[in-house]
Amino acid sequence: MSETQNDGMGSIVPGTDVAVAEWLLTAAHDLGEATEDWRKCGIAVLDCGLAFSVLTIPAPTIYAAAHTSEADGVARYLASALGGGPAFVSTDGDSYYVLVPPDVEQETLPPGVQCLGRSALLSVPRPDLTDPSQHAHASYWAVPMAGPGALCPTGAAIQVATAGRYRQTQQGEDQ
Q: Does residue 11 lie within any of the structural domains?
A: no
> Which residues are paired to 95 by β-bridges?
58
Q: What distance in Å separates the CA atoms of residue 157 and residue 14, rounded to the nearest whole number?
A: 28
Under 8 Å between Cβ of 72 and 29: no
* pTM, 2 dp: 0.89
Assess if residue 165 is contained within a domain.
Answer: yes
Indicate the DSSP class of residue 151.
P
Please state whether beta strands 114-116 and 53-58 pair in parallel, antiparallel, or not at all (unpaired): antiparallel
Q: The domain containing residue 58 runs over which residues?
A: 48-170
- Distance separating alpha carbons of residues 94 and 116, to the nearest angstrom: 16
Instruction: Dump pLDDT digits (tens) for 130-148.
Output: 988 765 556 899 999 999 9
Q: Which of 71-80, 120-129, 132-141 has the lowest mean pLDDT?
A: 132-141
Residues written for the chain:
175
Residue 160 lies in a domain: yes
**Is 43 domain-assigned?**
no
Query: In the predicted model, is pLDDT for residue 170 greater than 50?
Result: yes
Beta strands in 1-94 (DSSP E): 43-47, 53-58, 87-89
For residue 31, give the amino acid letter.
Answer: L
Do 17 and 120 touch, CB atoms closer than 8 A? no
Is residue 67 domain-resident? Answer: yes
In a domain, 97, yes or no: yes
- Mean pLDDT taken over the chain: 87
Asked whether residue 71 is domain-assigned, the answer is yes
Q: Dihedral of CA 22/28/30/33: which sign? A: negative
Query: In the chain, how many domains are there?
Result: 1
